[in-house]
Amino acid sequence: MTEQTPDVIGESQPRGKERSQWADVWRQFRSHKGAMMGAFVLLFITFGVTFGPYIWDIDPTKLDIRNKDWRPIYMPLFSCSWTDWCIPPESLERMKYGWAHPLGTDNLGRDVLATLIHGGRVSIAVGWVAMALAMIIGTAIGVASGYVKKLDGLLMRFTDLVLALPLLPLLLVIMLLFRDTLRASFGPELGIFILIVCVIGATSWMQTARIVRADILALKEREFILAARSIGTPPLKMVTRHLLPNVLSPIMVSATLGLATAIITESAISFLGLGFPSDFPTWGKLLFDATDRIQNFPERAIWPGLMISLVVLAVNYIGDGLRDALDPRIRGR
């Protein structure tokens, strides 16, 4: 055998003192600059939308038609008189802006900063919960079909079936069937939240399931599994102790991608009128609402767009860093 197993490399490295595996992972993760940046941005945005409403306590649905179409406070920075590329001073004078609405107001006088904060709450919550749901379903199905040979064909054909389902008609049907029931038992907003999260979760686990199954099939043939089996490890213990930790890195990576997809899917659903009520801001909806007036008020599209991009980018970088950190072959190099 010419290939050295990673475990041997890990063991042969000199060590100052005994460290746990997770400390190693963290050390490796920290050395990935992009991932650290991503983690910082994600944390900042998550804290911002969680505690933001306590600091910036304007109601995001409050209409103030007399103060509509305010521009962001930074508009004067783009003003000059010596080139055509910037805002001429005379049109700056006609603009309304001020600290009362730092990012301006929309065409009905709603504060853009407040809608951005509240929209972020929903978008990020939907993203996390839907992603967690998709991961749980995907991992369970992937492990079951990879480990239990009898279930393999059945579960994978089921995965193919779900993959082949067109998402939009499915969403329509689910909305029609369950909307009124959920609305009656949880209220319009929580009911729709549960529905959207379940719908996104239930339609985005398939990639994860396939990846996990493939990895489990490969792992099953490895010597350490044979060793574990030979000492009589029960099947459940095999999965939790030996298999799951080894497929954690692909799961983590697909989880980060899943978070991004969930945020984007929620935007699309809301736009089609299937999601939250129209006065309930989410980033996707803010973005879509802004497209009509993107020429005159680009900031209304830029800010929610930037937020979605930042979160998705941050999460992807974190995924990248996690993959490196969780892979013992790369760790320590």
Partner 1 sequence: MKLKTALLGAAASCALAPMAFAEAHEGERGRDGNVSIIYWQAPSIMNPFLSGGTKDVEAASLVLEPLARYDETGNLTPWLVEEVPTVENGGVSEDLTTITWKITPGILWSDGTPFTSADVKFTYEYCTHPEGGCAQLTKFNGVSSVETPDEHTVVVTFEQPTPFPYGPFVGGESPILQAAQFADCMGAKAPECTDANFNPVGTGGFKVVEFKPNDVITFEANDNYREEGKPAFASITFKGGGDATAAGRAVMETGEFDYAWNLQLAPDVISEMEAAGKGKAVAGFGPLLERIMLNNTNPDPALGPDERSVVRPHPYLSDPAVYKAMSMAIDRPLLVEVGYGQAGKVSCNWVPAPPAVVSTTFDCSTQDIEGAKAMLEEAGWVDSNGDGVREKDGVELKMLYQTSTNAVRQDFQALIKDWWEQIGFEVELRNVDSSVFFGGDPGSPDTFQKFYADVEMYANTFNGTDPQSYLGNGTCDKAPSPATQWQGENISRFCSEEYDELYAKLAVTADAAERAEIAKQLNDIIVSNGGMIPLVHRGRLSAHANSLGGVKLNVWDSEIWNVADWYRIKTN
Residue 296 touches partner 1, criterion: CB under 8 A: yes
User: In angstroms, what is the C-alpha Rg of the chain?
Assistant: 25
Residue 292 touches partner 1, criterion: CB under 8 A: yes
Of the candidate residues 31, 79, 107, 233, the single one contacting partner 1 (CB under 8 A): 107
Residue 61 touches partner 1, criterion: CB under 8 A: yes
**Residue whose CB is less far from partner 1, 60 or 319:** 60
Q: How far is the CB of 52 from partner 1 (least distance, A)?
A: 22
Of the candidate residues 89, 153, 277, 332, the single one contacting partner 1 (CB under 8 A): 277
Q: How far is the CB of 120 from partner 1 (least distance, A)?
A: 20
Cα(254)–Cα(205) distance, integer angstroms: 9
Residue 176 touches partner 1, criterion: CB under 8 A: yes
Residue 174 touches partner 1, criterion: CB under 8 A: no
Q: How far is the CB of 286 from partner 1 (least distance, A)?
A: 12
**Residue whose CB is less far from partner 1, 160 or 292:** 292
Residue 294 touches partner 1, criterion: CB under 8 A: no
Residues in the chain: 333
Cα(121)–Cα(17) distance, integer angstroms: 43
Residue 273 touches partner 1, criterion: CB under 8 A: yes
Residue 167 touches partner 1, criterion: CB under 8 A: no
Residue 289 touches partner 1, criterion: CB under 8 A: yes
Of the candidate residues 4, 81, 91, 278, the single one contacting partner 1 (CB under 8 A): 278
**Residue whose CB is less far from partner 1, 110 or 323:** 110
Cα(130)–Cα(133) distance, integer angstroms: 5
Residue 67 touches partner 1, criterion: CB under 8 A: no
- CA nearest to 126, candidates 226, 196, 50: 196
Q: How far is the CB of 309 from partner 1 (least distance, A)?
A: 23
